[in-house]
């Protein structure tokens, strides 16, 4: 059951709905029910969201909500919520707000007294950690790795003494570049590379940074990967 509204409460609810990271069957039953009942869905890419909605034969009003135009979209979404309509916020894959659009809207909704309700589910972070084989009692999620060499070196230098497993999102085409910097700054640590998770070609590569680099050199990798680095 969802939280009930009081008689005086007119604003709609903002639901933060996790969607599949690949396999569309990973949508939870609760998420499906919420997507059916809301009046609007705010989504990162309408084309991606339509694939999910078509799978479950849902027709909904969509609002594009994406970087870098988040601030432009927030007033319209807040007006819908203030008018008593429920809105579901989704990203292209996984949980909104985790290196995906969401934080700015959620912050504004909270400031206006609008109820924000999480609908948990798929996340590339938890999926990679659960099957990666590195310690999970402590981990540090760092989002998308910097694309520039100096920025990445600076970030990793600050993490030399971190005991927990480090979690990054890395474009597949940048993995060799990333591993070069890891070897230079952090040394030859154990690495887990998770790509195409929940899809047909799901792959987990577990090896030292040096060996993984040798395995991947010359290969054409696409998409985004979740990369885990062993802590100290």
- Rounded to an integer, the average pLDDT of 173-178 is 95
Tell me what pLDDT residue 214 has: 94
Q: What are phi and psi of 78, to 5 degrees?
A: -65, -35
Tell me what pLDDT residue 89 has: 98
Domains in the chain: boundaries: 14-119, 124-229
For residue 88, how far is the Cα from the chain centroid? 16
- Rounded to an integer, the average pLDDT of 107-132 is 97
Helices 103-111 and 70-82, packing angle to 10 deg: 40
For 210-232, write each residue's pLDDT tens digit. Answer: 999 999 998 888 888 999 999 99
Q: What are phi and psi of 52, to 5 degrees?
A: -70, -45
pLDDT at 6 over 50: no
Tell me what pLDDT residue 7 has: 39
Average pLDDT score, the chain: 94
For 178-208, write each residue's pLDDT tens digit. Answer: 999 999 999 999 999 999 999 999 999 999 9
The strand order across the sheet containing 190-195 reads: 139-144, 165-171, 224-229, 190-195, 203-208
For 137-157, write each residue's pLDDT tens digit. Answer: 999 999 999 999 999 999 999
For 51-105, write each residue's pLDDT tens digit. Answer: 999 999 999 999 999 988 889 999 999 999 999 999 999 999 999 999 889 999 9
Query: Is the peptide bond prior to 68 cis by the omega test (within 30 degrees of 0)?
Result: yes
Note whether 102 and 91 are within 8 A (CB).
Answer: yes
* CATH entry 3.40.1010.10 includes domain 14-119: yes
pLDDT at 8 over 50: no
Among candidate residues 78, 77, 83, 226, the one with its CA nearest the CA of residue 166: 226
pLDDT at 4 over 60: no
Tell me what pLDDT residue 220 has: 84
* CATH entry 3.30.950.10 includes domain 124-229: yes
For residue 161, how far is the Cα from the chain centroid? 26
Tell me what pLDDT residue 3 has: 59
């Amino acid at each position: 059951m969802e939280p009930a509204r009081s008689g005086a409460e007119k604003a709609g609810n903002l639901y933060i709905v996790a969607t599949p990271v690949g396999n569309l069957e990973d949508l939870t039953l609760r998420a499906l029910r919420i997507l059916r009942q809301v009046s609007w869905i705010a989504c990162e890419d309408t084309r991606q969201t339509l694939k999910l909605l078509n799978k479950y034969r849902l027709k909904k009003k969509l609002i594009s909500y994406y970087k870098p135009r988040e601030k432009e979209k927030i007033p319209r979404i807040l007006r819908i919520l203030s008018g008593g309509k429920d809105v579901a916020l989704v990203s292209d894959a996984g949980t909104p707000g985790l290196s995906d659009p969401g934080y700015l809207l959620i912050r504004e909704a909270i400031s206006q007294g609008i109820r924000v309700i999480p609908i948990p589910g798929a996340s590339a972070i938890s999926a990679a950690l659960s099957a990666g084989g590195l310690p999970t009692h402590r981990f540090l999620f760092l989002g998308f790795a910097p694309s520039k060499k100096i920025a990445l070196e600076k970030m990793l230098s600050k993490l030399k003494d971190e005991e927990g497993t480090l979690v990054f999102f890395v474009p597949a085409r940048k993995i060799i570049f990333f591993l070069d910097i890891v070897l230079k700054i952090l040394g030859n640590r154990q690495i887990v590379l998770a790509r195409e998770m929940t899809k047909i070609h799901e792959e987990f590569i577990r090896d030292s940074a040096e060996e993984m680099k040798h395995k991947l050199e010359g290969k054409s990798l696409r998409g985004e990967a979740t990369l885990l680095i062993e802590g100290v």
